[in-house]
Amino acid sequence: MESYYIVNDPNDPLAARATEIRKQDYLFWKEVKPDLEDDFDISCHTLATRTGLSERRTRDITMALYRLAELPLTRALQETYYFLDFSRLITIDAVLSKLGDVPTETLERIDQELASYLTPTSPRQVLPSNTNLRRKLNGLIAVETPTPEEEKEATPQKDPYFTYSSFGGKAGLAVEFDEATLIAIDEHVSQAAEKHNLTKADALAKLILGDIEQRVKVVLHMYRAYDQKAAPGFIQGFGWVSPETADGIRPTQKRDMDLARELESESYVTPPLIGAFVEGRDGVCRWPGCHRPAESCQKDHRIDHAKGGKTAGSNLASLCQHHHNIKTDGGAFYIMDPHTGDIVWLFDDGHWEYDEPQGPLAPKNKNWALTVGQAIAARRAAAKERNDS
């Protein structure tokens, strides 16, 4: 069967109309976008007043189109299917902007991965949500961080700690750390917030001012291939990190996910090892398009435990409370490929949707991490050879 996104279903008149609107919108802006050499601000202003959009939106759309021009494979997909609306195109530009000026081969690498992520591989797939697209892109750029030597040259000696006044008697604080430090701080703050029922901002203030104490041990869950020299890591609650950051996090306990994948348990409650596999495979709630992280989802027995359904990766899927309720109420049910974790959702009205797992253990992401790890190891070896000679 042909692979396609539901937004491009040729037999669905509603989807076809929406695609036509996206296409016209895209072609319109492609035609009228200002040249970057023109007086850019005035051009955006004029376009904004003539289209009724804000200047900010006009600028974002323009920059998104220039960004897409740097990503020929992704652009070719868009100009075949017209499946990406401007929200998603702007997300692509916004995330890639964090990279600053990068060599062409970096953009080529990202373009290749992005195009492969956006290419449907099954019929009736649900288009990745804006949030999941942003997470994917953040993962792609996380492993493109500069090597330590380049970083040293680029880092100014300024203290990256800023305070600023905001609106209505509020003031803000912005600080920058290396990734590993930030992950540890964030985990401490999150735990304190949960324990004392505070917002994370309040928890941070109270921790620093000594109003509350936090002496618990922070537990980080990282997925990483240990049989590889330079594998990126995936930290639960944070996302993909570079091999350098992953190296900086020393595990106190290692668990084998290949083993966990095959495990079965008699108990109804999911044992931690099987749970870690399911969360690592799913990444997010398996309701198509939902982006609730798997670690805050429930583990649904596809076939009820009472009816002989196993407590094992092949019979468990992450569903957030809301979508678990919908499934329990009988409005929809699913079947799952036990090897890939792919899910087909079947709805009461007879239509069906295809959902692929998004976590670091999902087949596609495992392959990506493997390729990235090999590329980074090769780059390091080449740099070492240059230094040695």
287 contacts Zn ion (rule: CB under 5 A): yes
320 contacts Zn ion (rule: CB under 5 A): yes
Beta strands per DSSP E along 216-331: 222-224, 233-235, 239-241, 264-265, 298-301, 311-312, 316-319
Which residue stretch of 21-29, 36-44, 228-236, 322-330 sits at the interface with Zn ion (rule: CB under 5 A)?
322-330
Note whether 302 and 334 are within 8 A (CB).
yes
Q: Which of 285, 312, 361, 369 binds Zn ion (CB under 5 A)?
A: 285
Closest CA to 127 of 292, 298, 3: 3
Q: Which residues of 175-189 are buried (b: 16+ CB within 10 A; e: fewer)?
A: eeeebbeebeebbbb
Which residue stretch of 27-35, 218-226, 319-327, 349-357 sits at the interface with Zn ion (rule: CB under 5 A)?
319-327
Nearer to Zn ion, 47 or 320 (CB): 320
Nearer to Zn ion, 232 or 280 (CB): 280
- Per-residue contact string for residues 228-267; x = within reach of Zn ion by CB under 5 A: ----------------------------------------
What are the structure tokens assigned to 328, written together?
A: 């329990």
Closest CA to 244 of 371, 144, 362: 144
Q: Which of 126, 127, 290, 332 binds Zn ion (CB under 5 A)?
A: 290
Please identify which residue in the block is written with the tokens 């495990």.
Answer: 263
Q: What minimum distance in Å lies between the beta carbon of 318 and Zn ion?
A: 8
Distance CA 72, CA 79 (A): 10
90 contacts Zn ion (rule: CB under 5 A): no
294 contacts Zn ion (rule: CB under 5 A): no
DSSP state of 282: H
Nearer to Zn ion, 285 or 362 (CB): 285
Nearer to Zn ion, 261 or 327 (CB): 327
323 contacts Zn ion (rule: CB under 5 A): yes
59 contacts Zn ion (rule: CB under 5 A): no
Q: What minimum distance in Å lies between the beta carbon of 282 and Zn ion?
A: 11
317 contacts Zn ion (rule: CB under 5 A): no
Distance CA 298, CA 292 (A): 11
376 contacts Zn ion (rule: CB under 5 A): no
Q: What angle do CA 146, 240, 104 make, to 5 degrees?
A: 40
Note the residues at the interface with Zn ion (CB under 5 A): 285, 287, 290, 292, 320, 323
